[in-house]
Amino acid sequence: SRQTGIFFSFLVMVTMSLFMQEAILEPYGGEVFNMSIGETTMLNSFWGIGILLGYGTTGFLVVPRLGKTKTTKIGCILVALSFSLIILAGLTAIPKILQGAMILFGIAAGITTIGSISLMLDLTAAETAGTFVGAWGLAQAMSRGIAIALGGWILDIGKLIFDHVWLAYSLVFVCEALVIIVAIILL
C-alpha cells in the first residue's frame, strides 16, 4: 500500500540519520577532542545508556500521553537538535560535553525508535505482522549499511573542502540532521 511504502521510506530515513555517525564518532572524539582510543570507544556506551533511558520512559510515559505520531515527531526533532549539540561540543573540545550530548542523542533515538515501532504496530494487521517486522528489519539493515558508508564518504568530502577537521565532522552531523528532517516530512 502507499502508506506502507511511505512508512518504509520514513524508517530508512530515520535509520540513516541515526547511524551515519557510527563509523566517524570515535575518530571525531580522537581528532577533535584529543580523546584516547579507550575514551572514544566509550562514546557508544553513552549513546547506549541514552537509548535505554529513551526506551524505558517512552513506551510507558510518553506515548500514552502524547500519542504515537507526536511522540515520533518529537523524537525526530530531538535527534536533529542532538546533532547540533554534538557539533557545538566540538567547539569546546571538552569530552564531558560530548559525552552528555551523546546521552541526549541516545534518549532522542530511543524516543524516535519506540514511537516508530508503535506507529508500525498501528499499520499492522495480525495476519501481516511478520511482513511488517521483516520490512522493519530490511529497512534497518539496508539503511544502516548505507548510512555508515555515507558517513565516511561525507567526512572524506568534508576533509577535502574544509581546512579545520571540526568542520569536516560537522558536515556529517549536519547531513544527519537534514535526513531526519526529511523523515519528519515523510511522517
CA 118 to CA 135: how far, in whole Å? 15
Q: Please give the model's pTM, rounded to 2 decimal places.
A: 0.90
pLDDT digits 0-9 by tens, 77-110: 999 999 999 999 999 999 999 999 999 999 999 9
Residue 138's pLDDT band, with cuts at 50, 70 and 90, is: confident
Cell representation of residue 137: 528489519
CA 5 to CA 12: how far, in whole Å? 11
pLDDT digits 0-9 by tens, 55-75: 999 988 998 899 999 999 999
Beta-carbon neighbour count of residue 91 at 10 Å? 11
